[in-house]
Every structure is written in C-alpha cells, then in structure tokens.
C-alpha cells in the first residue's frame, strides 16, 4: 500500500497485530519515529514492535505470527 504495490490480506493481519499490541501496551508503537519512518522501517527493514515480557503468554502467542516475529 505504501509503495503502491499490490497487497494481500497480510496487510490486514499485520494491522490487527498492531492494534492488539496497542491495546496491551496502552501506547503507540514506534514512538521515536515519524509515521513515514515507521512505515519505511516496517516494510524495508522488517522492524517490529517488541512484545513485552510481562504480556500474557496466550496474547504473545497470538501476536508473534501476526507481527512477523
């Protein structure tokens, strides 16, 4: 979507993982980046938000594949 390339449902799956991450953490991911920097880092460098160690294991298990960990 960002680079005007064809996309699949993987975009929606990743977005769901990000929303779940935000709900668990109570903050936005990539706070040290602008939206453009974050999008570039995710698409081109495979950057992913860190799942906190104190996250319930079942939620961590859900987020890991969604976020591409």
Provide mean pLDDT across the span 9-24: 93
Tell me the HSE value of 22 on the side-chain side, using a 13 A CA sphere.
10
pTM (two decimals): 0.83
Going from N- to C-terminal start, the domains of the chain cover 10-67
Question: What's the pLDDT tens digit per position in 31-56?
Answer: 999 999 999 999 899 999 999 999 99
């Amino acid at each position: 979507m960002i680079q005007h390339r064809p996309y699949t449902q993987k975009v929606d799956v990743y977005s769901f993982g990000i929303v779940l991450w935000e709900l668990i953490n109570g903050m936005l991911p990539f706070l040290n980046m602008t939206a453009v920097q974050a999008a570039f880092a995710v698409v081109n460098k495979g950057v992913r938000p860190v799942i906190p160690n104190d996250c319930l294991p079942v939620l961590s298990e859900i987020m890991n594949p969604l976020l591409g960990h």
